[in-house]
């Protein structure tokens, strides 16, 4: 959840720099399990990469395209995952 411009996990209480979004939400089975890192910047969700373990897989694809798909998804939807505890997180209520 966002509190005064900060992302705080409702489950573990951590103050987060970013949350994770499963690529399945906007890329179906081709991106299933690829976790995109998303940060809040000036009231917009910005995708700045993927987890280290997903970088080799993503190197096969057009990064700009998938980055924009992720950001579009985050502007219109509200679920992500806490990178620390793994619980689903509400981006904006």
Per-residue pLDDT tens over the stretch 82-91: 999 998 876 6
The fraction of the chain above a pLDDT of 90, given in percent, is 60
How many CA atoms within 13 Å lie on the side-chain side of 70? 27
**Is 0.85 surpassed by the pTM of this model?**
yes
Per-residue pLDDT tens over the stretch 60-82: 999 999 999 999 999 888 889 99
CA 70 from centre of chain: 7
Per-residue pLDDT tens over the stretch 11-40: 888 888 899 999 999 999 999 999 999 998
Ranges of each domain in the chain = 2-90
Q: For residue 56, what are the CA distances in angstroms to 19, 32, 50, 65?
A: 20, 15, 10, 17
């Amino acid at each position: 959840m966002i509190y005064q411009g900060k992302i705080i996990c409702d489950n573990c209480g951590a103050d987060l720099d970013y949350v994770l979004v499963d690529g399945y939400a906007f890329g179906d089975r081709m991106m299933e399990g690829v976790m995109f890192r998303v940060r809040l910047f000036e009231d917009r969700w910005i995708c700045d990469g993927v987890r280290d373990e997903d970088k080799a897989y993503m190197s096969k694809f057009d990064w700009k395209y998938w980055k924009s798909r992720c950001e579009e998804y985050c502007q219109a939807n509200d679920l992500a995952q806490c990178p620390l505890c793994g619980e689903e997180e509400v981006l904006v209520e």
